[in-house]
Each structure stands twice: as structure tokens, then as C-alpha cells.
Structure 1
Amino acid sequence: MASNQSRDVLLEDNHDFLPASPTSEYINSSVLSLSILGVFEIETPIDDSPTIELLREQFLPINNRFSSILIRDGNGAQRWKKVDIRLEDHVKVPHFPTGLPPATYDEYLQEYLSKIALDRLPENRPLWEIHLIKYPTSDAAGTVVFKLHHALGDGFSLMGALFSCLKRADDPSLPLTFPTYSTKSTTSSTSHRMSDTCKKVSTIAAGCWYTASDFVQSVLHSTVLQDDHTAIRSGTPLVEFEPVTISSVTFSLDRIREIKSKISGTVNDVAVGIIFYAIQLYQQRMGQISPGRRMTALVLLNTRMVNGYQCVEDMLKEKTWGNHFTFLQIAIPSSDNAEKENPLAFLLKAKKTIKRKRHSLAVYLNGRLVQMLRTIRGPEAASRYIHATMKNTTTGISYLVGPMEKMEMGDLPVKSFYFSVVGVPQSLALTMVSYMGNLRVVASAEKRFINSQLLMSCMKEAYDKVHREACGVDGTESQ
């Protein structure tokens, strides 16, 4: 029998055993296992007969990880090993009672999503599944759900991969296009150079102070400090194994942009501010006010230096495929009476905090700290640190940009889609995605603790009040 040392050498020499990235190891451990559910609502009834062929010809070639499993070498490090794959094992077609009204199938779909959110993907085969729900709901004629382990890549990688398998409904020969965001260039005259220099010195000094403060606060939050128990944080041990309810609400991006222009912010500023306001409204509806309560949101930050999605070939070539993200820890504003607050105050606070946090180097220092933990104590210790960071905070918020045109999956027109991150040790995880001029906000909420219907109602109310305050008109969308 070969020793561990000789096995390590064999693995190093074998090109089929590719090392997993550190982040992939952190989020696929005995402590933490995260997956992404990509839910596509289809306009026409689903024919599942071409599924296997489409997966073989379009999905598997995207990346070797889709036909690989994670193994551990003699040192305990995870590596990708390419294996023979039986696609039929990855395609699930649930059977519900027939002849029921769409509203009833809404409930069946919700229960099914809750079930697969809790199910752990088998480790003896590649870490993904596709679920074809061929029953009409209130929103679609059928539903296609991709479950992909986060170790395969983050939302940017995985959604980009799925988009590469889809085509434009209006003209399949044209590529899907995505919103782009330009930055204004600034110029300064010679007379302003001295004041600019002073501002830079002041900015550097402030940045050093914020970095130190943010880093210390982050470390404390990941070790000894916990957010308070509130109407959206139960503090239940191992909450990631509790059933969840996945619900959503849709807003007009045009109206979000109108609000954005009023506060001179970004779409993300507006969306996060609306979420913060909705949380306060929800807590008040639940008979809880928040002054003095510690509540923190982990806002996902994409660390790639790219503007927009890349094709899969470029991602692999430039090594931007995988998990390239970090979190900004942002305090959720509190309120004595959310009903009487100016709704725009929550947006302005979100904008100010996000802008300041982006200029802090605490995010970089946190990354170095996790790497140091991995080097000294191993990947499991790093995973425990990240798990504690999530567990001790109230919620996580992530945002992806989707296509501006309608997509087709094979010959199936996609009416809408959304994604959710599951396995998160929090009572509430929030995700956002844009598609065809709309922004979909999705909540994955602890089922027996959070009233998802009331929370979505508060999201709609917050959006409506913010739009009315900013633009002077009603912003409610028909759902």
C-alpha cells in the first residue's frame, strides 16, 4: 500500500487532480456547505425528452468541474477529480397529484424547493442537479431548477455558465446583453490641485481609521460578538438545517433608476436601502422595535476586476472562474417608529455606509486573516471562521445582473428567473437579480420563524413609499 506521501506525489503529478481553490474548500466542509438554487420560470409546458442531450452537449463542456468530484489528498486538501458521469442521476422529475389548480401547485413547488434546499448533494458524483417541475403554477407553465454546489463557483461564475447555455428568444444568432454601468471621468484644474492634495491626505487618514475600526469589528463579529435576537434572527443553533420558505417580489428597474437619480446613488444602494426599510417595517408589524438592537447585513462584493459577464473561455483563461467574493459588514439602521421615518433616510444611510466600506481595506485584511488561519490550522478552521461570521450576523444580501432580453432554454421561453443561496447559517438570506427590466428580490427564510408573506408585503410597501417619497408618485407594481 502506498504511503500518504507517495499518494500526494501521484496526485501532484496527475493533471486530472486539480486543486480546489481555498474558498471552495471553505464552503464545502463538515462545518459549512453552501449551494445555489437557480429557478427558471417557463412560459410553456416542459418537454423533458431533450434534457440529457442538452446537458451533454451544452452544459458539461462549460467546465470540467461539472463532471468532477471533490476528493481529499493525503494532506487533507481538496482536489477536483474528473469522473465518468451518468446524466440520468442528475435529472430529477418530481410527481405531484394531477388536475390541481395553479395556486395549489404553488404550495407543492414551495415545499419541493424547501426539501431540495435542505438535501445535501451526494459527494460521490458531480455536485449539481437539475429538477424539472412540469406542473403549472400561478407564475409559469413549468419550472426548471438548477441546484449547484457553491464549491463549483460563485453566483457570477455559475449564472454566467447558465447564460452561456441559453439564447435570445427574439434572435438566437445574437448574444444576450447585460446592463453596463459607466463611471464619470473627473478633471481638475491647476488651481484646484492643492485642495485635491489636501483631500487625498484626509481621505488616506480616514481610510486608515476606517480600516482599523472595520477590521477589529469584523474579527469581533466572527468570534465573540453576535447580533441580537430579532424578528428576523432566531439564533437557533444549526439554523441552516431548518426548513426554509423561498418567496420573492418584483420591482421595476426603471423606477429603481428614478430613485437612484434622486439620491445620486447606485441601483445597489437603492435596493439595499429598500430592504433595510422593509426589515424595520416587518419588525414593527411583528410588534418589535429595534433601537439598541445589533443587526448586521453581510453584503456580497464581487472582487473581480471586470465590468460585466465574461464568456466561459475568458473566465478560464483569465482565472476569473470560481469563487471571487467577499462580504461587507453593514449595520442595519434601526428605528423607533419605521412608519414615521422618512423612507429615503434608509437609502441614504445604505449609500453612505456602502461607499465608506468599499474604501476600507478591512475586506482585504479579513481575506488575509482567513488565509493565515488556513495555513496555520487548516481549511476546516478557516471554514469555521466563515461559518461564525455568517451565524453571528442577521442576514446576507447578494446581487446579480441578468440579461435585458428574454431568454430561451432549449426551446423553452424563460418568463422570469431568480436564485437563492441555501445552507446559510442565518434565519434570512436575501438575493437580487435583474431580468428584462425588472429586479427580483428573493428571501430564503426560516420557515417556522419568519412570516414570509408578511415580509414580502413589507418589501412592496417599502418600495412603494420610497418611490412616492423620491418621485412623488406611487411605485407599487402589480405582482
Structure 2
Amino acid sequence: MREEKHISKMKGRMAKEEEEEEPLSPMARVFQSPEIDYCAVTIMGFKTKIRPDVVLDALRHNVSKHPRFSAKLSENGAKWIEAQVNVEDHVVVPYINQEEIGEDGQGFVDDYISRLTTIPLDRSRPLWDMHILNVKTSDAEAVGVIRSHHSLGDGMSLISLMLACTHKTSDPDTFSNAIPSLKRRKTAPHGLKNKSWFLRSIFTIGSATRLIWNTIVDMLLLLATLLFLKDTKTPLKGDADVGTNPKRFYHRTINLDDIKLIKNAMNMNFRVGYVSKVSHVYILFLEKQGKKIEEEDGALASYKNHLPRRLRFRSGCTVNLRSDIGFKPLADMMVKNSKCRWGNYFSFIILPFSIGLQNDPLVYLKISKSTMARKKNSYHAALVYLIIKIVLKVLGAKVAARIFNRPVMNTTTCVSNVIGPMEEISFRGHPVAYIAPSSYGHPQALLVHYISYAGKMTISLAVDPTVIPDPHKICDEMEKSLKAMKAALSERGLL
């Protein structure tokens, strides 16, 4: 079959270069250290019941032959060791009593996935598994849950593997690599080329100065966060041991066109739109929680702003370090020195949120646009990756993991996004209704992931229920925030 040839071609290229390439990327070494146990979870809803025999056959022909999914970690975690994969050991089809579940299929799925976060992957074999839940939920006829250790690859890598194993629903004979290949933008002021040599030189010197200054400031703030600077304790901030607690996952699907309207009206990219909406939602959620606490304590709740004063609230935001940020065929991603290579080639930046109630929801868009523009004009993300790489070689994976994990622990949340298929996809005749990627193991009580799929946007939340018992309210606030921003733009004729 075509996908089998695709995987075989990829593995052949990988085998030729195996002796030359580094066994694990620096971030993969960090993720498999004893200090960190991050796992990626991809929840996929299907429009039909899942046939386990079809899934097993597909996995035997492609995923089990992937160089990373058919290898286990060495005892010291420094390299991959090729292993014989018995697909049946990696696919779980639990017995489900439909009468006991009744109409609460979504509740069963949520409880099942939450229990998975307490069960570590077996390190004596390849670090992945798949769970087939033939339970009807609010937006799917069945649910597939794929767990993979984060050392296998980042979100972009895992999406590329998913595309290699699926087909377009509209054309079953065509692979679903319907994601545009993107390159990083190189921005310059309009009309600068037409200016004199002197003005171009002034601009170049000014840009370089700002870049150096922003990088110095960012690295000093990162050092402070690593040593002592912690976010304010809020209803969204977990304690130090939150990483080992069970997690629960929620998702909400919205129309991608609504995001595009706001993006185009405000002349910003998608990530700025996500960040601004998230900051608006956090503020609304914290304000309501503050009001609730005041009312429960018997305090007067007549003030409009119930937010704590001098609130420090920051979020980690993942940054793709590949020079080619678009998707490539899986075989090309596995080639050494590829500009869009498989693995964990990402870093993070720390985004400070301006916590304060605004009458105009568009203010959050403007603040986020300014903040993201400032963060782009810095080498913060690249230097973090370089520092981790140096520490890994000099002091080992354990120390590098602590350095990576400490800033995550001292911030409140994390935001990540990945581009998904533009058209509806199917896995061996099973049309996919939604894709909801997430992860667990992080020392934070709330993670937010975004993925686009077939004209829609899925927002995935991973939460610690002991800290955030009602995460559906965050999703509600996200929809309200989107409507408020659209209404504000419409009133001003910007749509």
C-alpha cells in the first residue's frame, strides 16, 4: 500500500544516516530525564464506530515501522534502540458496558483519559499506545486516544505522522498532506528600499540595538524566573506538585472564519489572535472567581474590579525553531539536515499578561499585538534552546531538565498551537470529526492548545481538577470573548 511504501522510504533514508546523526535531540534528552515525564495526548473524534481490526492492520503496515515508534530508549536515555513492535501490545480496546454508561458517553471518555495520566508508559518498549473507545459523545460516534512520550517528537512531528497515515475524505486515494508549506516572514518597513543609504543604515543600527537590548532584558527576566520570580497565586496557579496530579481534558470547537475576521481586521497573525483571546479569557475568569470569593467571605461585592492588585500573571508560549515552519512529507522530515526535521525542535518564550479589566475588548488585541511584536524582536527562544544544549553536554540531562522545568513551574500557564489539515481526513475509512491535541506532566494546572482542522478551530484544555474544578467555564468565556471582539469590530465598521 502507498502509506507502507511511504514509511519504508522514510526508514531507508534514516538507516543510511543512523551512524552520523545524534541519537536524541537536546529537548528529547531533557524530556526523557527522571525529572520530567511529559506525554503528548492526541484525542481524535470519529464520525463512525472504530473497527479495531482495521486499526491494527494499519498500524502494522506504517506506524509500527516508524524509526521512533519502533524503538525504545536505552537505559541511560541517550539513544534509541531498535525494537520488535507487537502492535497488539500498544492498542487497548476496553470492554464498555453501554447500559452502565447510559447517555453520559462524554463523562466516561473524560474519566478514562484522566486515569491514563496516572499510568506511565512502559519504558521497556516503544513509548506510545492507542486506546479505542467506541462510545458516542456529544460530537463523535467514537474516540481514539493516542499517547506518546514527548521525547518522540513535538506537535509538528506528530501531526506530520498523522497526515502520512490518513487520506482526504473527499479523495480516499490521496494522502492528507493538505497543509501549506510556510516560511518565516522577513519584515521591513514599507518603502525602506527606496530610502537613502544613510536612512537604511540608521534603521539597521536601531533594529540591531533593539534586538540586543530586548534579548538582554528577556534573558535577565528568565534568570530571575529560574531563581526566584514566581507568578501570583490565583485560582489558575497550581502548586509545585501539580505535575504529578491526574489531569482532565476538555475541548471546544469554534469557527475558524471568526478568528480570520478578527485577524484581518486588526492586521495581525493567528498566534496574536490566540494570545489576545486567551488573555481576555483569563482576566474574565479571574475577575469572576475574585467576585465569587468575596461574596463567599461576606465582603461587599459592589466594586467592578475584583482582581488582586499587583498581579503577576505569565504564560509560556512555544516557539517552533525550524527554519521552514510549514509541513513536509514525513519522509523528508526524517532526513538529516532537513529544514523541517522530525523531533523536538522548539523552545519557549515567557509572555506577561496585562491583567486589568478593559471596557473595550479590542484593547486586549492591541496589547497582545504589541507584546508579540516585542517578543519576536528578541533571541530569547533560540538562546534558551542553546543554553539547554550546552548544559546537557556539560552537566547532563538531569540538570538540563531542572533548568527547563523551573521557569515552567514559576509561571501560571502555557499556550501552544499547531496547524492542522485544511480538509477533512479519514483513517482507513473512519472520517475524523475533530482533533484535540494536548499533553500532561507539566508543573502547571492549565495548558491551552489550539489546532485548526477543516475550517474550524479546536481549543483543548488540560487542567488539574483540584485547582480548576470547572474548566468548562473557561471555554464558555472563550466563546464570549470571541463574540465580544467581533461585536466591537462590527460596531466600528472594521469587519
TM-score (ref. length: structure 1): 0.90
What residue in structure 2 maps to residue 217 of structure 1?
Answer: 221
CA deviations on 1:246-282 (whole Å, 9 max, x unpaired) are 1122221111111111211001111110011000000
What is the letter of the counterpart of residue 113 of structure 1?
I
Q: 2:206 aligns with which of 202, 208, 228?
A: 202
1:47–1:66 Cα change, 3 Å: same
Maintained 8 Å contact 2:316/2:350: yes
2:365 corresponds in structure 1 to: 347
What is the CA–CA distance in structure 1 between the aligned matches of 2:195 and 2:327, rounded to whole Å?
Answer: 40
* 3-state secondary structure, aligned to 2:52: coil
Report what 2:93 is aligned to. Answer: 93
Q: Which secondary structure state, in structure 2, belongs to the residue aligned with residue 78 of structure 1?
A: coil
1:463 aligns with 2:453: no
Deviation at 1:363, TM superposition (A): 2.2
In the alignment, is residue 326 of structure 1 matched against residue 344 of structure 2? no
Amino-acid identity (%): 23
Once the two structures are superposed, the pairs formed by residues 24-423 of structure 1 within 5 Å of their partners are 24-61=28-65, 63-72=66-75, 76=76, 78-99=78-99, 103-176=103-176, 177-179=178-180, 188-234=192-238, 236-287=239-290, 289-317=307-335, 318-319=337-338, 320-335=341-356, 338=357, 340-423=358-441
**What is the CA-CA distance between 1:78 and the residue it aligns to?**
1.4
**2:461 equivalent among 426, 440, 443:** 443
Does the 8 A contact of 1:17 with 1:81 survive in 2? no
Shift of 1:179: 4.8
Shift of 1:227: 1.1
Question: Is this contact kept in 1: 2:182–2:327, CA < 8 A?
Answer: no
Letter of the structure 2 residue corresponding to residue 457 of structure 1 = D
SS state of the match for residue 62, structure 2? helix
Is 413-422 or 351-360 further displaced after alignment? 351-360
Change (3 A) 1:377 1:105: same
**Does 1:452 pair with 2:471?**
yes
Partners of 1:223 and 1:385 within 8 A in 2: no
With 361-370 and 420-429 compared, the bigger mean Cα shift is at: 361-370
Secondary structure of the 1:54 match is: helix
**Which SS does the other structure have where 1:308 is aligned?**
coil
Name the CA distance, whole Å, in 1 between partners of 2:25 and 2:197. Answer: 44
User: SS at 1:69's partner residue?
Assistant: strand
CA-atom RMSD in angstroms: 2.2
More deviation in 366-375 or 128-137? 366-375
Cα shift at 1:237: 2.5
Q: Are 1:291 and 1:334, in contact at CA under 8 Å, matched by a contact in 2? A: no
The amino acid across from 2:145 in the alignment is V
The residue identity in structure 1 corresponding to 2:104 is: T
Amino acid at match of 2:421: P
Deviation at 1:215, TM superposition (A): 0.5
How far the C-alpha of 1:101 sits from its partner, in A, is: 6.8
User: Quick one: distance in 1 between partners of 2:196 and 2:181?
Assistant: 31
Q: CA deviation at 1:27?
A: 0.8
8 Å CA contact 2:181, 2:327 repeated in 1: no
SS in 1 for 2:144: strand
TM (normalized to structure 2)? 0.87
Whichever residue aligns with residue 167 of structure 2, its letter is K
CA displacement, residues 124-145 of structure 1 (integer Å, 9 cap, x when unaligned) = 0100000100111111110011
* Residue segments in structure 2 that go unaligned for 5+ positions in a row: 1-17, 291-305
The alpha carbon displacement at 1:446 in A equals 1.0
Q: Which runs of 5 or more structure 1 residues have no equivalent in the other structure? A: 1-13, 474-479
Cα deviation for residue 462 of structure 1 reads 1.1
Q: In the TM superposition, what is the alpha-carbon distance from 1:171 to its structure 2 partner? A: 0.6
2:485 is matched by which residue type in structure 1? V
* Aligned residues of 1:16 and 1:82 also touching (Cα < 8 A): no
Deviates more, 1:422-431 or 1:92-101: 92-101
Note closer, same or farther for the CA distance 1:188–1:441 as it changes in structure 2 (3 Å cut): same
The CA deviation at 1:197 is 2.5
Q: Distance in 2 between matches of 1:462 and 1:273?
A: 10
Quick one: which amino acid aligns to residue 179 of structure 2?
Answer: F
Distance 1:282 1:179, change over 3 A: farther
CA apart distance, 1:345: 1.4
SS of aligned partner of 2:69: helix
Residue 86 of structure 1 deviates from its aligned partner by 1.5
Q: Which residue of 2 aligns with 1:434?
A: 452
Matched with 2:4 is none
Q: Deviations over 1:353-379 (max 9, x none)?
A: 112112201222222322232233211
Separation (CA, whole Å) in 2 of partners of 1:432 and 1:461: 17
Q: Work out whether residues 168 and 424 of structure 2, in 8 Å CA contact, stay in contact via their aligned partners in 1.
A: yes
Which letter does structure 1 place at the counterpart of 2:226? Answer: S
Letter in 2 for 1:126: P
Letter in 1 for 2:264: S
SS class of match (1:66): coil
Quickly say closer, same or farther: Cα 1:391–1:89, change in 2 above 3 A.
same
* Deviation by residue 1:349-402 (Cα, 9 ceiling, x = unmatched): 112111211220122222232223223321100001111121111111110101
Counterpart contact for 1:278–1:459, Cα < 8 Å: yes
Distance in 2 (alpha carbons) for counterparts of 1:368 and 1:134: 45
Task: Return 461-470 or 142-151, whichever deviates more.
Answer: 461-470
CA contact (8 A) 1:118 1:423 kept: no
Task: Summarize the Cα distance change of 1:53–1:224 in structure 2 as closer, same or farther, 3 Å threshold.
Answer: same
- TM-fit CA distance, 1:471: 2.9
The match for 1:11 is: none
